[in-house]
Every structure is written in structure tokens, then in C-alpha cells.
Structure 1
Amino acid sequence: MKSVGRCRAHTNIALIKYWGKRNDELFLPMNSSLSLTLDAFYTDTQVILDESLVSDVFYLDDVKQGEKETEKITNFLNLFRNRANIETKACIKSYNHVPTAAGLASSASAFSALAGAMNQATNLNLDLETLSTFARQGSGSATRSIYGGFVEWDMGEADLSETSHAVQVDDASWDIGMIVIAVNTGKKKLSSRVGMKQTIATSPFYSSWVETATKDIKNIKKAIKSKDFVTLGEITESNGMKMHATMLGAMPPISYWEPDSVKAIQKVKEIRDTGLPCYVTMDAGPNVKVLCKKSDMTEIENRLLEDFDRKQIIPSHVGEGITLLSEDEWNY
């Protein structure tokens, strides 16, 4: 007997960052965060629960994954199997339309898509809020990719897993866009998980980061509610730079930046100085994301092309939440 689930999830870029856990096992964050879901980057995942299988099998972009990678997937699937009271093993096929481990939130779309597919295959029919608590335990940022638009990940209470979940704040349908400047899409040398731990343990700036992030999320939600793009952008840029400042204060200092990262930041500020509102943010990787108005994207792209190659400039509109795929839509 077989049961199938297929799901697409888009990645998200945090405007108010998540950087550090208070509980590693449950993926509970030190502070709440807020993101924008993007349509340009996504993961499609199929789960087939098959009683003839003796162990889980995991394919990523048609390449069978090893024991270490599969073990992480198995642990994640067990969250659903335990809830459904089943032990059936699965064959997972996942296709990542996001450069993996390059600071472009590939794990967010990957585990969100896997959560949606497993939810369908097990017939658990978990609501989106509950599903976001499951996705979180695969990758923290995956909790936000369950939804489209502007999404808040509520840090929750103490060590209560079910209280830390995501919720859509706004559908972001009011002239919002983002341009990714792909400085380097290769695998980063230091994982986010290791970088977070090192920052928490050694950076004297970290406690201030958590304190100000709480204020930032309150203020950015006000800006979203009033559709105040300039304030939205200013808070986004400030918050992202503060996160990287905490890393620079770590021992030894952590920097994901490359020379072209600085070049991109300076270029965006130059464009902004000409009267086009646009603001930068960066995650744990060298790539620069530019928050801008959807109506200004073409002009900003043209300005960026003065300094960067066409293949490095990736425009994106607002992405939607997870979507279940029919057999006909599964084109792999």
C-alpha cells in the first residue's frame, strides 16, 4: 500500500532576522522574526509512504543522498509518523530551485515543502499554524515558508514547542518586490547553525541584538500596517546590519561577506541617493537582497547591471504559501 503527498514551498528572506536558538533540539529562537516570501525560489517535494520499504530513501535533485543526510530527513518524518501512529517508510524526491547552503534560505523551502507533502501523505490534515511548528523542527526559517507575503515567526513561550509558530502578517500585495544580487551561490564554508552557536557564546553584542530585535519587529509591523515603505526598508537594513555586527564581535570574528557584497551594498546606497527607495539585507552568506517597490524593480535592475552580470541579478515578486501539487503538476 502506498500513500503520496506532493508540495511546493517558496523560500523566504528575513527582514527581521532569526539568529540563534534558546533550545537547539526544538528549534526555538531567541527572538521573533519577520520575513517576505519570494516567488523566484522554491522547492518541490514528493513523499511516497510505501509499506514495502525497509528504510527511508532520499533523493535531492535526482541524486540519492547518503546516510547522514537521510538520517536528518528520517528524524523529521518521524514527527509526522509519531502523530499519525504509523511506522511506514518513505521515498522522498525533492527538487531545489534554490542554490543550496548559499545564504538564500534553501532549507526554508525544503523543509516547508517536505512538511506539506508529509502532511498530505499521512492524511493528518494539520492546520497551517500547527504545520509551521512541525516545519520549524526541520529548519527554523521553514516555519515562515508555510505562508506567503509578510510572515512573523512568534518566538513562543519558554520551551513550549507548540507556542512557537508562524502567522501571516500581510499578503504584501502593495507594490513590494525584492532583487537578489547573487555574489556567490556556492556552499558557504561556515554553516548557519555553527555560526549562530559561536555568536551566542562569544559575541558581547549579542544580548543587545536580541533586545533591539524585539523593538524592530514591533516597529516594522506598524510600518507594514500603514504601508510605509521607507520605514519598512530602513528597519530591514538596520536589523540585517546589526545581525552581521554581532558576528563580527564573535571570537574568532565571523564574516560571510565577500568584496562583491560590499560593492553591492554601496551600489544600492548610490541608487537610493538618486531618489529610488531601496534597502539591503543579508543572511548568513555573501549574497545581497534588495528590498524595493515592485514598480521600481526594472529601473533598479538596470542600474545594478552597470556593475553586475545579468545572471547575478535575480528579481522576485512576492511568493505564496505552500501549495499541494497534483500528479499532473509533478513534472519531474
Structure 2
Amino acid sequence: MKATAIANSNIALVKYWGKRNEEIILPQNSSISMTLDSLHTTTTVEFSKKLKEDSLIIDGKKVPENETEKVSKHLGLVRKLSGKELFAKVESENNFPKAAGLASSASGFAALSLAATKAFDLHLDKKELSVLARQGSGSASRSIFEGFAEWLKGSQIDGSDSYAKQIAPKDHWPELTMVIPVLTTKEKKIKSRAGMTQTVANSPLYQSWLDTIESDLDKVREGILEKRFSQLGKTAELNALKMHSTMLTTDPHIIYWEPQSITMMKEVMLMREEGIEAYFTIDGGPQIKILCLDKNAKKIENRVKEMKEVKKTYLCKAGDGAKLIDKDLF
């Protein structure tokens, strides 16, 4: 009973920040993302009667108990679906830095959900997989899908109507590009989950975030479907800044940005002044992602590569959803 899946990371263009239910991860707002073609997680899951507990290896290292607990809890959902109480060995590899603001939990739990269900020979459709992945990491619900996806916040208490759906396939807008300059590979001190809880609890700006989110969703959805780059970029950039404003005004403050984050934001604004249309977005972490069109992508990538703050760059297009592969990690 063994299977391997690969899932790409996704970057939200309208962010998800804050939960209405912490236990089964139900969001306060819907969100829209682009699944990337260059940042992925590969995960192998094997259930066996010989195992006495779940074990987890990420990037060749045995994972501490607190992280294994999250994965065990998620495997418990799959065990419940299958009706089989077997422990699992899980091995996972990322081709990008983990927990550094590049959405490794999204690709991680999407790959885990698909591999674990297949290992038990369960055949979930994409909606069911999205609901399952959401309960591991909210943004993982979107990594099930290729191209562009919207995670619907839903209204049901059991979360049955909170899942992602595809807005457009990966080949819908081939000119749209995301340049990701890696500014740090260090794991962030405050995980997104803890940051959200604090923000919802006491940021005076949180209600304003919710009051403007539907308008942002409409503009970004339309921007993608109609390929209106300026509309998409402006809305995504402001949405990210609004999200971070709720964190900055939380007590105690949550400041994910590093000095190099601000340097990169200002560099993107300078590009626009010089006539290169580009926009930035930032998740719960220090990394800046730059949205641009293909005609400017190499120019932008070469420009940021020259900056002393940049350790590595990724050039991403819209990519595949989670899928099974034949090559196991063990």
C-alpha cells in the first residue's frame, strides 16, 4: 500500500488570512491563486501492518514530533475514509526552501493527500481531494488544481462547501509570469497559522480587510479571465499590503518582512516608474513575488539577480495540479 504524488506550490493573488474554524480550517474569506510550475513537493506514503507509528522524513531529515503530529492527524482523516487503522511511513522532498514564505505547506499537504488516498486505493475526485487537503493546510486546497484556482470560503459548519475550484487552466494565459527572488532561506519564526489567529483576535484593521475582499476577488477573477494584466497586478499588490497591514497592527505585532523585503518592493515600484510594468505580492513571510508579462520576465529576473539581497531566482508560469507519479522516494 504505497503511492507517490507531486504537487506544485501556489501563490495567492487574493490572500487568505484568518479562519472561522481552526480545527477543520475554514477561512474567513475566499481566495484566488496561481499554481506555479517550478516549485514542487514530491511525497511517498506507505501504509503497513509492520509499522508501530507514523514517521516523517522531509528533505532527508527526520522531522520533529510536533510536525509529525500534524501529518499524523491528516493521515488519520485518510485512515477514517479507508476504514483501515494502519500507520504510515512518509517521505517528502521540496525543490525550494521549506517554511520560508514560498507556500511549502500548500504543495506538501496537497501531495500528501493525493499519495495517502491512492496508497489506500481510495479514488477521490478533485473537489473531495481539495476538502481533504484544506484540513491539512488551507492553501493546499488550491494546489490540487492546475492553472488558476479559487478557494470558496463556504458557509456550512462542517466545511462541506469550502473547497477550491479551477478558474482557468494552466495554458489560459501563457504570457503571465511570476519571478521569485529568494531573499532568505531561513524558516520564519511565526508560522502563518499562529499569525492568523493573533490577527483575527486583535487587529483593528481586520474588519476592513474583510469589507474589501469581495471587490478584490471580483477584480482578480475578471483580470485572469479577461487577461487584464494591470487590473490583476494592481489589485493583487494592494491586497497583499492590506493583509500585511492587519499583521502590523496586531498586538504583539507580526512583521514578516526583512530589510531586503522592503528593498525588493521598492525595486518593483522603481521598475514601474521606468516603464517596466510589474507588481509584487507577499505571503506570510519575507519573500517577494513579482508578477509580470513574458516580454519583461528575463529583464526583471536578470535585474534582481544582480541585487546583493537575492540568493536565487525562480521563473514561474502557471503549472499543473497535484498528480500521481511512478517514481517512489523509497
Sort the TM-score into its range (normalised by shorter chain): over 0.9
Q: 1:308 to 1:316 in 2, by over 3 A?
A: farther
- Deviation at residue 313 of structure 1 after TM alignment: 2.4
The 8 Å contact of residues 17 and 239 in structure 1, kept in 2 or not, is answered as: yes
> Which deviations, in whole Å up to 9, do the C-alpha atoms of 1:16-54 show, x marking residues without a partner?
001110000010000000111112211100011111112
Do residues 77 (structure 1) and 95 (structure 2) align?
no
Gap runs ≥5 in structure 1? none
Do residues 187 (structure 1) and 187 (structure 2) align?
yes
Do residues 232 (structure 1) and 232 (structure 2) align?
yes
The 8 Å contact of residues 25 and 135 in structure 2, kept in 1 or not, is answered as: yes
The 8 Å contact of residues 35 and 151 in structure 1, kept in 2 or not, is answered as: yes
For residue 257 of structure 1, give the secondary structure of its aligned residue in structure 2: coil
Do residues 290 (structure 1) and 290 (structure 2) align?
yes
CA–CA separation in structure 2 for the residues paired with 1:107 and 1:206: 24
For residue 144 of structure 1, give the secondary structure of its aligned residue in structure 2: helix
| 1:247 equivalent in structure 2 | 247
For residue 161 of structure 1, give the secondary structure of its aligned residue in structure 2: coil
- One-letter code aligned to 2:205: F
CA–CA separation in structure 1 for the residues paired with 2:212 and 2:269: 23
For residue 13 of structure 1, give the secondary structure of its aligned residue in structure 2: strand
Most deviating of 305-314 and 238-247: 305-314
- One-letter code aligned to 2:6: R
Most deviating of 269-278 and 243-252: 269-278
| 1:108 equivalent in structure 2 | 106
- Deviation at residue 172 of structure 1 after TM alignment: 4.3
CA–CA separation in structure 2 for the residues paired with 1:33 and 1:208: 16
- One-letter code aligned to 1:245: S
Most deviating of 180-189 and 235-244: 180-189
| 1:24 equivalent in structure 2 | 22
The 8 Å contact of residues 183 and 310 in structure 2, kept in 1 or not, is answered as: no
- Deviation at residue 65 of structure 1 after TM alignment: 2.3
The 8 Å contact of residues 271 and 303 in structure 1, kept in 2 or not, is answered as: no
- Deviation at residue 331 of structure 1 after TM alignment: 6.0
For residue 67 of structure 2, give the secondary structure of its aligned residue in structure 1: helix
For residue 11 of structure 1, give the secondary structure of its aligned residue in structure 2: strand
Gap runs ≥5 in structure 2? none
| 1:164 equivalent in structure 2 | 162
CA–CA separation in structure 2 for the residues paired with 1:330 and 1:181: 30
Superposed, 1:34-113 pairs within 5 Å as: 34-113=32-111
- Deviation at residue 319 of structure 1 after TM alignment: 1.6
- Deviation at residue 163 of structure 1 after TM alignment: 0.7
Most deviating of 233-242 and 194-203: 194-203
> Which deviations, in whole Å up to 9, do the C-alpha atoms of 1:65-99 show, x marking residues without a partner?
23322222111011111011111111111112221
- One-letter code aligned to 1:215: S
The 8 Å contact of residues 268 and 280 in structure 2, kept in 1 or not, is answered as: yes
- One-letter code aligned to 2:138: G
- Deviation at residue 309 of structure 1 after TM alignment: 6.1
Superposed, 1:246-285 pairs within 5 Å as: 246-285=246-285
User: Structure 1 length as normaliser, TM-score?
Assistant: 0.95
Q: 1:42 to 1:197 in 2, by over 3 A?
A: same
CA–CA separation in structure 2 for the residues paired with 1:144 and 1:204: 29
CA–CA separation in structure 1 for the residues paired with 2:221 and 2:143: 18
Q: 1:62 to 1:302 in 2, by over 3 A?
A: closer
| 2:115 maps to which of 102, 114, 117 | 117
- Deviation at residue 5 of structure 1 after TM alignment: 1.1
Superposed, 1:5-24 pairs within 5 Å as: 5-24=3-22
> Which deviations, in whole Å up to 9, do the C-alpha atoms of 1:218-263 show, x marking residues without a partner?
1211111111011010110010000011111111222111111111
| 1:141 equivalent in structure 2 | 139
CA–CA separation in structure 2 for the residues paired with 1:107 and 1:71: 14
For residue 163 of structure 1, give the secondary structure of its aligned residue in structure 2: coil
| 1:131 equivalent in structure 2 | 129
How many residue pairs end up in the alignment? 328
Do residues 313 (structure 1) and 313 (structure 2) align?
yes
- Deviation at residue 269 of structure 1 after TM alignment: 1.1
User: Structure 2 length as normaliser, TM-score?
Assistant: 0.96
- One-letter code aligned to 2:254: I
The 8 Å contact of residues 8 and 40 in structure 2, kept in 1 or not, is answered as: yes
CA–CA separation in structure 1 for the residues paired with 2:280 and 2:121: 41
- One-letter code aligned to 2:43: T
For residue 47 of structure 2, give the secondary structure of its aligned residue in structure 1: strand
Most deviating of 48-57 and 114-123: 48-57
CA–CA separation in structure 2 for the residues paired with 1:295 and 1:121: 43
- Deviation at residue 189 of structure 1 after TM alignment: 1.3
- One-letter code aligned to 2:46: I
